[in-house]
Amino acid sequence: MGLFSFIKNAGEKLFGKDEKEVAAQAAANVDDLNTKAAAAIQTYIEKQNLGLTGLAVAFDGASGKVTLNGSAPSQEAAEKAVLAAGNVTGVSDVDNNLQFPAEAAAQYHDVVSGDTLAAIAKQYYGDANQYMKIFEANKPMLSHPDKIYVGQKLRIPA
């Protein structure tokens, strides 16, 4: 599916530390930290219950890049895995190598200040009442339709 870019300082804080502290520790033991970060991201993706098989996650802390390998039951599941990985603080790019059956491609939207799911639905579908379609397409990364944040990347299904 390719490489997706994200805002590195936005998203879930899986590593429990600020970026300066992570950078200082990274200098000491890069390989170990990359392995631990990859494991944390993989656990986070697996908690989404997307039906992925053979999921393998690699993380490069220097570049902020996550690489996903394995199989997904659908394009939607693969896209949700990309969003789960990319919406983690410290991740700037996700290289999606997940295999899945061919389907129609979805669009993506980067949340900006003032965005709501209703406004995004109006923009893409011409109907603000379609916001639940976007919410459902981004579950379980979104816990509530009113809880989106600036810098988050959302999947806009066809």
Global pTM value: 0.65
- Helices assigned H by DSSP within the chain: 19-28, 30-46, 75-86, 117-125, 131-137
Give percent of the chain with pLDDT exceeding 90: 60
Per-residue model confidence as pLDDT tens digits over 12-68: 666 555 666 666 655 667 788 889 999 999 999 999 999 999 999 999 988 999 999
Please list, in sequence order, all residues whose beta carbon lies within 8 angstroms of the beta carbon of residue 21, skipping any fewer than 6 positions away: none
One-character DSSP codes across 109-132: EE--TT--HHHHHHHHHS-GGGHH
Phi, psi angles (nearest 5°) of residue 148? -120, 155
User: What's the token pair of residue 5?
Assistant: 């870019």
DSSP 149: -
Per-residue model confidence as pLDDT tens digits over 95-148: 999 999 886 677 999 999 999 999 999 999 999 999 999 999 998 889 999 999
Q: What is the pLDDT of residue 96?
A: 94
